Structure 1
Amino acid sequence: MLGVVYIQFMEMIKEKFSEDVLDDLLDEPSLSTGGAYTSVGYYDHTDIIKLVVALSKKTDIPVDDLVEAFGKHLFAALIDKYPMLAEDKTDALEMLESVDNSIHVEVHKLYPQAELPEFKCIRLSDTKLQMVYRSKRPFSILALGLIKGCAEHFGEQLTISHRNADSDDMFETHFDIEKVA
């Protein structure tokens, strides 16, 4: 997993909780790096799972709620750092449609070793989109947070339903997304 994701997770913890909470989490003995991360590194995704679980225990906030909140935070942080990703997009659905064919292409230019999830989209109408998340990693709730963060960025309200269709070797979630007028 990209180091930039870890760095943004740590930023969210500092913003929403405190530097002390972050320091306590980074002392978790089972972390593969000993709690040291850089934005240009690549890390085992299980470390972020351990950090989220530890944060959930420390704050009594459910893991899924923390992961979704992180998705929203991550979207805003990435658009702040790379505003060109959203410059020519007119709405959230157009932005979401561009993930695989545009955004992930740019991510691979910056981080050639990145193992990114797939996002396949089918535009059902001007206001409806079906998006399928596929990954070797169990982060569909992070994807949900990113979708909600995208809606917030464009000042739009979306209704989102999702259902899992996981297989033995792949995590898959189908998102039905509709723009509320």
Structure 2
Amino acid sequence: MNALEEFVLGIADMEVWNSVLESSDLKSGGVYTSGVNYEDAEIVSLATNLCEKLDIPLVDGLKLFGKYLFGFLLNRGPIELASYPNAQALLENLETVVHTDVKRIHPDAYTPFFVYTPVNENEGELSYSSKRKLCFVAEGLLEGAAEHYGQSVQMTHFECMHDGAQSCKWKVIFS
């Protein structure tokens, strides 16, 4: 949740953040520390209230946050994030290296599950599954990763957990 607070302070101000906290149903009381798991309902409540306050669609707000989150994780997360030559290499190693490192540092952390299957050097299929169903945050994360590596990315979201699928799937093209 520290990332969400920093995101809000970067695009708005403390008054907006405090207003979002006050209007959200938060078991934790709105006090967050890294490495601790919080109720998923809190994430949904905070995101919904923030997007309402900023007058942006929830899907767009989640993507914006995901894009921001990549830079946040790059600066505070596993060292390996900076060592990959491109977003494709990062995706191919996300589960075996990056998420493994996260679990080593924070054993109780809940990480989503990603599988990237390359079709060729610029194209692939990305599969995402998570009990949180934050696929739009995942899209933003990938946009942030591509931007970090000096790439652009086109994503076609052809299967979605919000429509009853077991996982979300995208056709991904990097350039």
The TM-score bracket by the shorter chain reads: over 0.9
1:101 paired with 2:96, answer yes
Q: 1:156 aligns with which of 147, 151, 155?
A: 151
- Is 1:136–1:170's contact at 8 Å kept on the other side of the alignment? no
Map of 1:5-44 to 2, 5 A cutoff? 6-28=1-23, 30-44=25-39
* 3-state SS of paired residue (1:73): helix
Runs of 5+ consecutive residues of structure 1 not aligned to the other structure: 1-5
The alpha-carbon deviation at position 137 of structure 1 amounts to 1.3
- Is 1:86–1:95's contact at 8 Å kept on the other side of the alignment? yes
- Is 1:67–1:141's contact at 8 Å kept on the other side of the alignment? yes
Q: 1:136 aligns with which of 131, 139, 142?
A: 131
Runs of 5+ consecutive residues of structure 2 not aligned to the other structure: none
Greater shift in the superposed pair: 84-93 or 55-64: 84-93
* 3-state SS of paired residue (1:130): strand
| Distance (Å, rounded) in 2 between the aligned partners of 1:171 and 1:107 | 24
TM-score by length of 2: 0.93
* 3-state SS of paired residue (1:37): coil
Greater shift in the superposed pair: 142-151 or 33-42: 33-42
The alpha-carbon deviation at position 41 of structure 1 amounts to 2.0
The alignment-based identity, stated in percent, is: 27
Runs (4 or more) in structure 1 with deviation over 4 Å come to: 167-171
Q: 1:90 aligns with which of 85, 94, 98?
A: 85
* 3-state SS of paired residue (1:133): strand
Greater shift in the superposed pair: 96-105 or 157-166: 157-166
TM-score by length of 1: 0.90
Residue correspondences, number: 175
Q: CA RMSD in A?
A: 1.8
The alpha-carbon deviation at position 84 of structure 1 amounts to 2.1
| Distance (Å, rounded) in 1 between the aligned partners of 2:47 and 2:162 | 24
Answer 1 or 2: which has greater helix percent: 2
